[in-house]
Amino acid sequence: MLIALVALTRIPFIFDGYGTEEDSWGLVVNAHEMKESGHYVASRFPGHPVQEYAYRMICDQPAWVYNFLSVIVSCIAVAFFFLALGKMQLSGKIKTTLLLCFTPAFFIAGTYTIDFNWALAFVLASFYFLLGRKFIIAGIMIGLATGCRITSGIFLLPWAMLLFNRLDLRAWLKELLLVSIPAVIIGMLLYVPAYLNYGTAFFDYSDQFPYPPVAKVLYKMSIGVWGIPGLTAIALSVFAAVKTIREKNINAPVLFSPQRLAAVCAAIIVLHVVSYLRLPQKSGYMMPAVPFVILLIALFVRGKWLNTVTALFVIAPFLFGMNLTDNLRGSEYSPLAVRFHSSGQEIFFDPLTGPALSERSKRKNKMNYCSEVAASLDTLSSPSCIISGWWYNELVVNYYSQEKNKNATLEFYSTCAHLDSLRKEGVRIYFLPEQDLYNDEMFGQNCTDSIAKPFPVQ
């Protein structure tokens, strides 16, 4: 029933392109590059080989096929989370699993081509097998999670905490090695193609944007992950947890003490908050911590409190959303929306439009704009270079289905020296909205406005 619920609630969202993020379209570009080159190509450093090879196998398929793989891994994540709750014999496992199903960040990542739910599915599979003392399989799952997102290897630390046995350190060390060795071997093998192609340079991360303002950092790690109803539910959970602890009515797991599980969950949350704060560009970076926040709720929230929390989570993807109003990359909103400014951008709060619906309209807006740009590129009659930035991948994918205008060259970002050399050759230089600012930011320069001009979309 839960698997069917996950699939049925995601499928209506998988037909609108490949997602809102440039990385989601970049994975499609990468699949075609791997096909054309015949060898491994990283979509972005440090690489995400499990997902990249999966998409290479279906690179000629329509968007919904790519997105449906994210639906499948979301179902797998939910299934293993439910099974893990059952293995620990925690009460309220259906309601607790619903919290994961309807966490907005998890919901949205299950509708397009991004890797967050891919990695999480393998992490939760590893957690389940670890609880069942199938240590080698648990290690293999962490290795595969690392092949989706290299940062997943950090779970070996909380797994060590969960297994720790101070009365038999030799047995603990043996169990830890049974998990760690296959995890490391599988993880390393998956990144061998990246090493052969790029050397040690692959062990890096891609980011061309400056550190965001504090308001945006806090938004992405809170409302961006949980939605306003979900965040309200977490606040209620804290209140209920205090009451539960006072009454000593904790929902104790069977396999170990609630204190042990709570400590492991807390460690996972802290590790991912620290990791997120180093590069706080996406709410999805907090995704690995989501099931373990929910596990803490399962430990300390019961009865009517859990019913209320579950109800708030279920509506979280669909109501009370916040997003940009920008015509090109923002979302649509209802007449009840309230608009305000934050960090130099106009934001709306809309009680009738939740995060999932906002993301869908944002995808459509961005696709419409890119279609207009692609049509305008076809009209260029003289050699032109367009600095595209975060629009680059989507425009390239647009061009796969049509013959390219040889006068149009798309650049992600470019140095002043390169742009100036193009201009001297008679090439006209343009930039798409806001990309003059980010082109200068990328290379620490201040020249784009003097060399290039806004691209005229017809």
> Mean of the pLDDT values across residues 318-330?
90
| Confidence band of 243 (pLDDT split at 50, 70, 90) | confident
Query: pLDDT value at position 206?
Result: 61
**pLDDT tens track for 225-234:** 999 999 999 9
Total Cβ atoms within 10 A of residue 269: 18
Better-predicted residue by pLDDT, 246 or 290: 290
**pLDDT tens track for 405-418:** 788 889 999 999 99
Closest by CA to 257, choosing from 161, 137, 136, is 161
Whole-number mean pLDDT of the chain? Answer: 92
Query: pLDDT value at position 403?
Result: 66
**Alpha helices by DSSP H, 88-210:** 93-101, 104-109, 116-131, 135-148, 156-163, 169-190, 192-198
> Is the model's pLDDT at 242 over the cut of 90?
no
| Confidence band of 210 (pLDDT split at 50, 70, 90) | confident
Q: Please check whether residue 341 is in contact with residue 367, taking contact to mean a CB–CB distance below 8 angstroms.
A: no
- Residues 29/35/38/43 CA torsion (nearest 10 deg): 20
Among the residue ranges 98-102, 310-314, 399-403, 443-447, the one predicted with the least confidence is 399-403
**pLDDT tens track for 152-201:** 999 999 999 999 987 789 999 999 999 999 999 999 999 999 999 988 87
Residues, the chain:
458
What is the pairing mode between strands 384-387 and 345-350? unpaired
Q: Please check whether residue 291 is in contact with residue 100, taking contact to mean a CB–CB distance below 8 angstroms.
A: yes
Q: Please check whether residue 194 is in contact with residue 42, taking contact to mean a CB–CB distance below 8 angstroms.
A: yes
Q: Please check whether residue 55 is in contact with residue 28, taking contact to mean a CB–CB distance below 8 angstroms.
A: yes
Closest by CA to 162, choosing from 340, 40, 292, 25, is 292
Tokens of 201: 């340079």
> Is the model's pLDDT at 1 over the cut of 90?
no
Task: For residue 120, give Cα distances in angstroms to 94, 141, 428.
Answer: 19, 10, 45
This prediction has a pTM of: 0.94
- Adjacency order of strands within the sheet including 384-387: 408-411, 384-387, 428-431, 453-454
- Backbone phi, then psi, for 430, in 5-degree steps? -130, 165
| Confidence band of 77 (pLDDT split at 50, 70, 90) | very high
